[in-house]
């Protein structure tokens, strides 16, 4: 009686030099920073638009005008005032 060899299943080779791209990988870091910047930028616009609304006495009907004015003001603000979370580089 002869036994025939059973076929082996091959396993795919793993590449130890290529780490998987995940949320913490370098490839996603710039995208995450861009997203955070966009969210912060929009939050500043929202805040300024609401301030303009309040300055007008909270009268409805001019939300678009307030938003566009807020966008213009935020875009023209100096870079230092746009990012208050950064530590200042002033010498003591």
| pTM for the structure as a whole | 0.54
Q: What confidence score (pLDDT) does residue 15 get?
A: 52
Q: What is the DSSP letter of 57?
A: T
The domain locations on the chain are 29-76
- Torsion (CA) 69, 72, 78, 83 in degrees, nearest 10: 80
Contacts of 52 (CB under 8 A, 6+ apart): 66, 69, 70
CA–CA distance, 73 with 71 (Å, rounded to integer) = 5
Q: Band of the pLDDT at 86, cuts 50, 70, 90?
A: very low
pLDDT tens digit sequence for 1-58: 556 666 666 555 555 565 555 555 555 588 888 898 889 999 999 999 999 999 999 9
């Amino acid at each position: 009686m002869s036994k025939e060899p059973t076929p082996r299943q091959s396993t795919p080779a793993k590449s130890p030099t290529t780490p998987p791209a995940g949320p913490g990988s370098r490839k996603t870091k710039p995208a995450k920073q861009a997203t955070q910047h966009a969210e912060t930028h929009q939050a500043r616009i929202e805040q300024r638009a609401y301030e303009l609304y309040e300055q007008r006495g909270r009268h409805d009907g001019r939300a678009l005008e307030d938003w566009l004015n807020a966008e213009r003001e935020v875009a023209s603000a100096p870079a230092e005032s746009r990012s208050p979370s950064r530590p200042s580089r002033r010498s003591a």
